[in-house]
Amino acid sequence: MVHRVKSAGQLIFGKLVSIGSIVFLMVFLSQLLSSCKKESGFDPKSVTMNQLKGTWRGRMTTFKNNQRIEKSGDITLFETLAGNMLDGIFELGQINFLEGFMFQNGTLYFSLILSDSTNPECSNWNLGGYVYLQEDNLMVLRIAGNECGLLGEQFVTYEGSLILVNPNMDPSVYYSFAGIGHTWGYNTTLWNTNTCTVTNEILSEPLPTFFTVRETNDCGWPFGTRQFNWQVEPFRFSVCSGTSTTDILYTFYLDAIIGKPYRFVCLTDTTWLTLAAVDVPVNVPAGSFRCGRYVIESHLHSSGTGTVIGTLWLSKQHGFVKTEYSAPGDSANIQSQVLNTLNMP
């Protein structure tokens, strides 16, 4: 075996060359990385509201009763009607409406709206927070404040990171069934055993989210056609009294709590609406749907005296699918309706 022995000069020169090469390489890599960073750097303060829109999903950590709890959740952000702010839907165990009030330097500041406002344990509710993008598709969330608790409050903090799963709102998670020209046809059974057809058609949208509906029927009622109004927003759907734009008979809240009655007073009528179950499969001639099932009880005084008790099946994406009433009041009143035809062009 032959060994090659270097002289002292060769060794020193070799070491100098080696060290010089390493230094040059380090400087070159540093400049290269610096150049790449400048070209692909992400500035959170330059983010626009449009970049925050969509559905974001991730894990959030909360601290309660000196315990660290991890939960998975979604935030869906969408533009307000005025177009100058973002609102949203926050789902972490239950649904809350997220109301944006300021957007500054790429950060959206918001409040979480309480759905159970009559609960004494929620008397000091005051939750708010902010979101911003740490990277192009990575959102950071911070929430703090009082939520429901034994003394009317429970201070909590939420922290988490979420990734963008859908840049557009999924219409199945909010009330999205309204649109001009949308038509629903119902096979209807009356308490006198007669059957007939009732058709609802949205004629116009005179105000944003406010829709005029025309109902026609061949049920032999004193009216063959009548009009009423719906207000359909992402986080609530209200049925109005006739053609009134202010009198609301009852409202389906997106963040309604199961088993809690919500009370509505319109003129001299009082209605209780209770969400009994969610994601209920319903099969009707028009197809198969997933619905919220609601119990409704109305005490009517504005046009005579009577009580209406029934069950409603409502799809957030497709509207009313099925109704049943157990208190007829009059033999010509509706006993049941099922969706027979659906046209949503």
DSSP string, 262-276: EEEEETTEEEEEEEE
Place of tokens 């009059």: 330
Mean pLDDT of the chain: 84
> 286-306: per-residue pLDDT in tens?
999 999 999 999 987 766 567
User: Using CA atoms, how far apart are residues 260 and 275, in angstroms rounded to an integer?
Assistant: 7
Instruction: Specify whether the CB–CB gap between 114 and 146 falls below 8 A.
Output: no
- How many other CB atoms are found less than 10 A from the CB of residue 88? 28
User: Using CA atoms, how far apart are residues 334 and 208, in angstroms rounded to an integer?
Assistant: 31
- Which residue, among 88, 70, 71, has the nearest Cα to 129 in the 3D structure? 88
Instruction: Specify whether the CB–CB gap between 253 and 246 falls below 8 A.
Output: no
pLDDT, residue 244, reads 82
Range of lowest pLDDT (101-105, 167-171, 292-296)? 167-171
Q: Is the pLDDT of residue 7 over 80?
A: no
Helix then strand then coil, % of the chain, to nearest 5: 15, 55, 30
Tokens of 281: 């499969």
Give percent above pLDDT 70 in the chain. Answer: 85
Question: Which pTM value belongs to this model?
Answer: 0.76
> 262-274: per-residue pLDDT in tens?
999 998 889 999 9
- Domains along the sequence of the chain with CATH: 46-169 (2.40.128.20), 173-343 (2.40.360.20)
